[in-house]
A and B are shown apart, each in its own frame.
Chain A
Amino acid sequence: MRGRAIKYERDNIDTDVIIPGAYLKVHDYDELGRHAMEGLDPRFRERAAAGGSIIVAGRNFGCGSSREHAPIALSRSGIRAVAALSFARIFYRNCVDGAFLLPVEIGGEAYAAISDGDELEIDTGAGTIAAAGKSYPTRPFSDIISRIIAAGGLFKAGLDG
């Protein structure tokens, strides 16, 4: 997967800024996409529309509420992956369970090296993220998460039996 980085040098980007509570009753996914990150970054839609498709951020991305609206809103605004130092569990699972976007855990070296606007390449097979001609390891997915990602969602992964 290739895409341009939208970088926020912030920890604890929470689900209330990803999609505020006022929109939790909205079931039109495109409408959710129009309000993604609006509390944090008024220029987010513009940046996503201009080809930014990979958010890069610090620790504990997606902390807060269990709302699946958060990865849905990001996904519908054009985001295909989030590369962060760490994720809150429910957000992480929501990303892969609904096949909304790819959550990739990166290390401090990659986080420091990636600049806003960089062209990135995420290779889930090799377990790397590449920026400015240099490649960095990403944290491997667990067996179950790999299966969910490969299948395209929790209910396609055949884990029930």
Chain B
Amino acid sequence: MIPVAAGRTLFEKVWDSHEVARRGAQSLLYVDRHMVHEVTSPQAFEGLREGGRRVRRPDLTVATADHNVPTGGGPLRVVDGDSAAQLEALERNCAEFGVELFGMGHPGRGIVHVIGPQLGLPLPGSTIVCGDSHTATQGAFGALAFGIGTSEVEHVLATQTVWMDRPAPLEVRVDGSLRRGPAVAAKDVILSVIRMIGTAGGAGTIVEYRGSAISGMSVEQRMTVCNMSIEAGSRAGLVAPDEKTVEYLRGKRYAPDDIDAAAAGWLSELRTDGSAKFAKSFRLDAGAVAPQVSWGTSPGMTCDVTDAVPAPEEYGAGDPAAEESARAALRYMGLEPGTPITDVRLDRVFIGSCTNARLEDLRDAAGMVEGRSVAPGVRAMVVPGSQEVKREAEAEGLGAAFEKAGFEWRESGCSMCLGMNPDVLSAGERCASTSNRNFEGRQGAGGRTHLVSPVTAAAAAVAGRFVDAREWV
């Protein structure tokens, strides 16, 4: 018998309740839900086929097409042969192995981390995995949600389990209230967290986001925060469930029919015990958070919109490797130290991705563009996170508002977040993007990405340069 420690953190409770075996530091975890997309699954299904295996629990597995999907208007047509082959492989694999697919043309299609919550897949206290690093998004429901590699996808398909070494619990406490919402957004909170703890600051951990600012957030805002846990080096992030979590899930397709009965257990058990210990703790004052803009090629290279581009020596603060990283980043980004962020002019604006393409994100952004127009010379696009988000946004008139202001209003998909479908930056183009990664070449070879919130992106589209959106609301 393993003695039970006096106090456990939320993630440890979820972990322990899903551990079916242990070898040394590694646990074999049972997986409650497995989501699949077209990029990281073909070799996994091929492996099953070669090994003569079946999908053990097709009823717990859901697939969608998102990464390769073109988002242009009219009937979607995949003209890229390799993309078409990957999408067709997913259709074939799902049909052969009996996995439900929200594929091309399906009204339920969308970015995997956006449709999961819409379907009610990430339940509090459950485990959910996907061959995609941003699976952490779904930790917003108090689920243990993490990304896995393709071999692990095959392992989960075959066994409904995955081997993981036990991470340490990390606390990120955000207290206070966000000033001047929506101009200061959940995105600004998580970018501030990454700026504070560093892109490897969460290595080997699972973050629990706590504090009054997190409690005060909507479930969709919590998803934005959890989404970028991986950019802080953590494997996952999660938030304890509360009444908002329950209300979000109520009536969703895969949520329990008697959700109030389930909620009683979730709300009483799924929280960190008072006597539990975190391996590390960080604190952030929400009231001090300003709109963030990334200036470099790592999500930790971020400053306030009112700041200037830092000098490499300033960023490095005595660490030669960090200083050299900043120098290389500024070269790539074509920025000079000392340039005010609000002087940085833009060619493109992208509002979308699993970080920031849910209905509330689109409402916030649309609020900034009403009665205004996209600046001449700027190409701006809004890509809803799912077809359901698109329909809801159109029903509220948001799609029309964006189009009237000169934005392209597109079909759902991963789009410009990752440069593998037709939505890419050209070399040298500078983009304000609500996505999660500003790595070199992420949005297309030579493209320059600035990570921002939907409100900051929308204001930048109108101004043609970065502006402090707090002055506009």
List, in ascending order, chain A residues with CB within 8 A of B261's CB.
Answer: none
List, in ascending order, chain B residues with CB within 8 A of A109's CB.
Answer: none
List, in ascending order, chain A residues with CB within 8 A of B200's CB.
Answer: 11-12, 59-60, 63, 86
Could you list 17 A-B pairs, sorted by A, with CB under 8 Å?
A11-B322, A11-B325, A16-B440, A17-B439, A20-B442, A22-B420, A22-B444, A39-B445, A63-B200, A66-B147, A66-B150, A93-B149, A97-B152, A143-B26, A144-B163, A153-B151, A160-B155
List, in ascending order, chain A residues with CB within 8 A of B152's CB.
Answer: 93, 97, 154
Known A-B contacts A12-B200, A60-B199; A24 and B24 likewise in contact (beta carbons under 8 Å):
no
Name A28-58 residues within 8 Å CB distance of B: 39-40, 58
Interface presence of B448 (CB below 8 A): no
The number of chain B residues touching the other chain, given as a range, is 35 or more
Tally chain A residues at the interface, Cβ within 8 Å. 42
Known A-B contacts A93-B151, A142-B25, A159-B163; A20 and B437 likewise in contact (beta carbons under 8 Å):
no
Measured CB to CB, the nearest residue on chain A to B151 is: A97
Against B, the Cβ 8 Å flags (1 = close, 0 = not) of A121-161 are 00000000000000000000011100000000111000110
Known A-B contacts A60-B203, A64-B439, A68-B43; A155 and B149 likewise in contact (beta carbons under 8 Å):
no
| Residue contact B68 to A144, C-beta cutoff 8 Å | no
Interface presence of B105 (CB below 8 A): no
| Residue contact A160 to B159, C-beta cutoff 8 Å | yes
| Residue contact A88 to B233, C-beta cutoff 8 Å | yes
User: Shortest 10 CB-CB distances between A and B: which pairs?
Assistant: A97-B151, A25-B82, A21-B420, A94-B149, A143-B24, A60-B200, A68-B150, A16-B439, A144-B26, A39-B441
Interface presence of B314 (CB below 8 A): no
Interface presence of B132 (CB below 8 A): yes
| Residue contact A142 to B155, C-beta cutoff 8 Å | no
List, in ascending order, chain B residues with CB within 8 A of A86's CB.
Answer: 200, 203
Additional 6 contacts, C-beta under 8 A, given A16-B418, A160-B158: A17-B440, A25-B82, A27-B85, A63-B200, A65-B418, A144-B165
CB distance from A58 to the nearest CB of B (A): 6
| Residue contact B441 to A17, C-beta cutoff 8 Å | yes
CB distance from B128 to the nearest CB of A (A): 14
| Residue contact B149 to A97, C-beta cutoff 8 Å | yes
Q: Measured between alpha carbons, how far is A90 from B132 in the docked complex, in Å?
A: 9
| Residue contact B420 to A155, C-beta cutoff 8 Å | no
List, in ascending order, chain B residues with CB within 8 A of A27's CB.
Answer: 42, 82, 85
Which residues of A are in contact with B by a Cβ distance under 8 Å?
A: 9-12, 14, 16-17, 20-22, 24-27, 39-40, 58-60, 63-68, 86, 88-91, 93-94, 97-98, 142-144, 153-155, 159-160
List, in ascending order, chain A residues with CB within 8 A of B68's CB.
Answer: 25
Q: Measured between alpha carbons, how far is A153 from B229 in the docked complex, in Å?
A: 28
Q: Measured between alpha carbons, how far is A64 from B233 in the docked complex, in Å?
A: 9
Measured CB to CB, the nearest residue on chain A to B320 is: A9
List, in ascending order, chain A residues with CB within 8 A of B58's CB.
Answer: none
Interface presence of B419 (CB below 8 A): yes
| Residue contact B321 to A11, C-beta cutoff 8 Å | yes
Against A, the Cβ 8 Å flags (1 = close, 0 = not) of B140-184 are 000000011111101100110001010000000000000000000
